[in-house]
Structure 1
């Protein structure tokens, strides 16, 4: 499956629907890698480990920069950052799989050069677990 068609939406409250953020160019790996915790007893002949709490790593999304309207993704996300808001996000794959999570957004405007496009990076400070919903069976 190609990545083309992936969307990222956000919402501010439980009852509202997700608003799709336009200009999405790149998405991060999604999933949680549990920390390996050593738990060896004196009677063990090899080290024993257990999975600890998970770390989703750096969640960074790249977007095409555009700031012409009050609903431009750069402006909306920057204002959420300035207000220290936690938003709900939903990433949807072309097959209908969804990843839903809460996070505090921060944005960073990229640099530019001759024949270079300007992008911005959306970084997430995760505030919840990532809920995965599989698409409906055919």
Structure 2
């Protein structure tokens, strides 16, 4: 059964537990295709490959800009932190509780944040970029 993007959360580990960092509007791919290592020989009539190292770009999240959230994120810049994207939660509207019942994808990295440009009659957004320093792994069930 498919799931919706409703109730997906960007989490940060504080001491031993994860807490919701901020509300997000978009999240990036949590993985990428492996590099292709060519194995073609002069006897092959088509190129052949084996998978190499998995590619992963910077992880960019979009969020509504608020001074409070921006200041909170700016304070984390330059620090190595444990982050996660959790799929699933309980509750409705403003009383959502992240649960990760549909998956928890964890990684370590360094965060940066900046407000993005806008036009007439638009919501002001910010981009949260996390440079991952560990592979993204799906957490095992608790």
Specify if TM > 0.5: yes
SS in 2 for 1:75: helix
**Hey, what's the Cα distance between the residues in 2 that align with 1:88 and 1:39?**
37
Alignment of 1:63-82 (within 5 A): 63-68=63-68, 72=69, 74-81=70-77
The alignment of Structure 1 onto Structure 2 pairs a total of residues equal to 128
Unaligned runs of 5+ in 1: none
What's the offset of the Cα at 1:80? 1.9
Residue 91 of structure 1 aligns with which residue?
85
Q: What is the CA RMSD across the aligned residues, in angstroms?
A: 2.1
Unaligned runs of 5+ in 2: 89-100
Structure 2 vs 1, CA of residues 96 and 34 (structure 1 numbering), >3 Å: closer, same or farther?
A: same
The answer as to whether partners of 1:35 and 1:51 remain within 8 angstroms in 2 is yes
What's the offset of the Cα at 1:86? 1.4
What's the offset of the Cα at 1:109? 0.5
The answer as to whether partners of 2:58 and 2:132 remain within 8 angstroms in 1 is no
**TM-score (normalised: structure 1):** 0.80
**Hey, what's the Cα distance between the residues in 1 that align with 2:138 and 2:129?**
20
**TM-score (normalised: structure 2):** 0.78
What's the offset of the Cα at 1:66? 1.3
